[in-house]
A and B are shown apart, each in its own frame.
Chain A
Amino acid sequence: MRDELSRSGKGQAMEEYNFAYLDEQTKRMIRRALLKGMAVPGYQVPFASREMPMPYGWGTGGVQVSAAVMVPEDCFKVIDQGADDTTNAVSIRRFFERTAGVAVTERTGEATVIQTRHRIPEQPLEEGQILVYQVPIPEPLRFLEPSEVETRKMHALEEYGLMHVKLYEDIARHGEISTSYAYPVKVEGRYVMDPSPIPKFDNPKLRMAAIQLFGAGREQRIYALPPWCEVVSLDFEDYPFQASRADHDCDLCGAEGSYLDEVITDDAGGRMFVCSDTDFCAGRRDAGHLGRLGATEDVA
Chain B
Amino acid sequence: MAMAADALTGGFTDAPRQSARAFRAALEAMARPGSVHPLTDLAQAPDPVSPAAATLLLVLCDPETPVFLAGAHDCAAVRDWITFHTGAPLAPAAEATFALGPWQALMPLSAYAPGTPEYPDRSATLIVDGDFAGQPVTLSGPGIETTTHAVLPDIAALQANAAGFPLGLDFYFTSGAELMALPRSTRIASAEES
| A interface residues, Cβ below 8 angstroms from B | 18-20, 24-25, 27-29, 31-41, 43, 45-46, 68-73, 128, 152-153, 155-157, 188, 190-191, 209, 211, 224-230
Q: Are A69 and B23 in contact (CB under 8 A)?
A: yes
Residue of B nearest to A39 (CB): B183
If A36-B170, A69-B27, A156-B117 are given as contacts, then 8 extra A-B residue pairs at C-beta distance below 8 Å, sorted by A number, are: A46-B119, A71-B21, A71-B24, A72-B17, A72-B20, A188-B185, A225-B142, A228-B144
Give, as a whole number of angstroms, the nearest-CB distance from B187 to chain A: 10
A18–B121 CA distance with the chains assembled, in angstroms: 28
A226–B170 CA distance with the chains assembled, in angstroms: 14
Q: Mark B178-193, 1 if CB is under 8 A from A, else 0.
A: 0000011100000000
A28-B62 in contact given A188-B185, A228-B144 (Cβ < 8 Å) = yes
Chain B residues with Cβ below 8 Å from A24 are 15-16, 19
A247–B142 CA distance with the chains assembled, in angstroms: 35
A83–B50 CA distance with the chains assembled, in angstroms: 45
A-B contact list, 17 entries, CB within 8 Å = A18-B16, A19-B17, A19-B20, A20-B16, A38-B143, A38-B183, A45-B121, A71-B20, A72-B21, A128-B28, A156-B117, A209-B145, A226-B31, A226-B32, A226-B143, A227-B31, A228-B142
Q: Are A191 and B32 in contact (CB under 8 A)?
A: no
A35-B20 in contact given A29-B64, A229-B142 (Cβ < 8 Å) = no
Q: Are A39 and B117 in contact (CB under 8 A)?
A: no
Interface size class of B (residues with CB under 8 A): 35 or more
Q: Are B26 and A35 in contact (CB under 8 A)?
A: yes
| Listed residue (A34, A224, A226) with the most chain B CB atoms within 10 angstroms of its CB | A226
Give, as a whole number of angstroms, the nearest-CB distance from B130 to chain A: 21
| B interface residues, Cβ below 8 angstroms from A | 15-17, 19-21, 23-24, 26-28, 30-32, 59-62, 64-65, 97, 116-121, 123, 125, 141-145, 165-166, 170, 183-185
A155–B26 CA distance with the chains assembled, in angstroms: 27
Give, as a whole number of angstroms, the nearest-CB distance from A87 to chain B: 28
Give, as a whole number of angstroms, the nearest-CB distance from A118 to chain B: 23
Residue of B nearest to A191 (CB): B166
Give, as a whole number of angstroms, the nearest-CB distance from B19 to chain A: 7
B28 contacts which of A72, A152, A211 (Cβ < 8 Å)? A211
Give, as a whole number of angstroms, the nearest-CB distance from A184 to chain B: 18
Interface of A: prevailing SS: mixed
Chain A residues with Cβ below 8 Å from B141 are 188
Residue of A nearest to B172 (CB): A35
Chain B residues with Cβ below 8 Å from A41 are 142, 185
Q: Are A32 and B184 in contact (CB under 8 A)?
A: no
Q: Are A31 and B59 in contact (CB under 8 A)?
A: yes
Give, as a whole number of angstroms, the nearest-CB distance from A132 to chain B: 12
Chain B residues with Cβ below 8 Å from A190 are 165-166
Q: Are B120 and A43 in contact (CB under 8 A)?
A: yes
Chain B residues with Cβ below 8 Å from A229 are 142-143
Chain B residues with Cβ below 8 Å from A38 are 27, 30-31, 143, 183
A36–B165 CA distance with the chains assembled, in angstroms: 12
Chain A residues with Cβ below 8 Å from B117 are 156-157
Q: Are B27 and A32 in contact (CB under 8 A)?
A: no
A27–B62 CA distance with the chains assembled, in angstroms: 11
Q: Are A35 and B28 in contact (CB under 8 A)?
A: no
A71-B17 in contact given A32-B65, A35-B26, A40-B185 (Cβ < 8 Å) = yes
